[in-house]
Amino acid sequence: MSLVAIILTYNESHHIADCIASLGWADSILVFDSFSTDDTVKIATASGAAVIQHPFENYTTQRNAALAAVQDEWVFFVDADERSSQEQAAEIRLKIEDSSVDGYWVPRHNYIFGKLTRHTGWYPDYQMRLLRRLKAHYDTSREVHELVILEGQAAYLTAPLTHFNYRDLKQFVGKQERYTDHAARDLHAQGIRVKPQNYVLQPVRHFIWRFITLHGYQDGFHGLRLSLLMAWYEFQKYVRLGSLWKKGK
């Protein structure tokens, strides 16, 4: 049951060595790089990983290209800002012996602004990352927040990845701006139009969902700030969707 850990990278020199070190239990490690301009490739090679460089179009096509580039039975996708563990390694080695399961959802511990965030929608934050290669591919209609199409049964791991998510507010805003643009384009492509009430009701609902339903209040001020920030970007999503329709006219 050979397993390759694949790390997608672009200018991840500050993360890549520690990420590779945490995956030393895998049979092999592949850094699938989008032509980084920093020392990512140099550090990855020095750390013992194989490196393939592939031009970036979007996250979905990049992951599909990575799947096509390997021959192992199992693939474990890990982002450069994530870390595996020996506990997770032992669980994965045991799970992949089960021939009835073809993919696993992996929980994550998210550190946001340096704080472990246990509520507000960031835990368990399951990601479909452990895949039987020949039974999985990514939905090409999604450019971001990729969706796995799994031809088989899925199950869940209990040992989490540690995700060093947004370092600070500047990084948070930068990523959310990109995600919001993608989300607005997806809605536009689906033919969804903005209704006047969307500008108010959707952000309010999103705040209630994160702060109340997902127990963001248990994260204190940290949870309140994150809930407000995500509600703001929910509002921005519909603002940008409206702009796309206006441009179309």
> Over the stretch 66-121, which tens digit does the pLDDT of each residue have?
999 999 999 999 999 999 999 999 999 999 999 999 999 999 999 999 999 999 99
Q: Are residues 76 and 158 in the same domain?
A: yes
Q: Are residues 48 and 9 in the same domain?
A: yes
Write down the pLDDT at residue 141: 82
For residue 230, give its domain range: 169-248
**Residues 26-56 pLDDT 10s:** 999 999 999 999 999 999 999 999 999 999 9
Write down the pLDDT at residue 142: 75
Write down the pLDDT at residue 118: 95
DSSP result, 127-169: EEEEEEGGGEEE-TT-SSS--EEESS-EEE-SSPEEEE---SH
Q: Tell me the residue length of the chain.
A: 249
In this structure, what CATH number is given to the domain that contains residue 140?
3.90.550.10
Q: Are residues 110 and 34 in the same domain?
A: yes
Q: Are residues 61 and 184 in the same domain?
A: no
Q: Which of 164, 193, 223 is the last residue of a domain?
A: 164
pLDDT tier for residue 237 given thresholds of 50, 70 and 90: very high
Q: Are residues 199 and 186 in the same domain?
A: yes
Q: Are residues 62 and 93 in the same domain?
A: yes
Q: Are residues 10 and 96 in the same domain?
A: yes
Q: Which of 129, 149, 164 is the last residue of a domain?
A: 164
Mean pLDDT of 199-219: 98
Q: How far is CA 241 from CA 144, 184, 193, 202, 247, in A?
A: 16, 5, 7, 13, 10
Q: Are residues 128 and 192 in the same domain?
A: no
Q: Which of 144, 164, 184 is the last residue of a domain?
A: 164
Q: Are residues 65 and 14 in the same domain?
A: yes
Write down the pLDDT at residue 65: 97
pTM of the model: 0.88
**Residues 136-179 pLDDT 10s:** 999 988 766 789 999 999 999 999 999 999 999 999 999 999 99
Q: Are residues 40 and 121 in the same domain?
A: yes
pLDDT tier for residue 188 given thresholds of 50, 70 and 90: very high
What share of the chain has pLDDT > 70, as a percent?
Answer: 99
Helix (H, G, I), strand (E, B) or coil at 18: helix
Q: What are phi and psi of 182, to 5 degrees?
A: -60, -45
pLDDT at residue 249 greater than cutoff 60: no
**In the structure encoding, which two tokens stand for residue 104, read together?**
């696993």
Q: At what angle do helices 169-189 and 220-248 cross, to 10 degrees?
A: 40
Number of domains composing the chain: 2
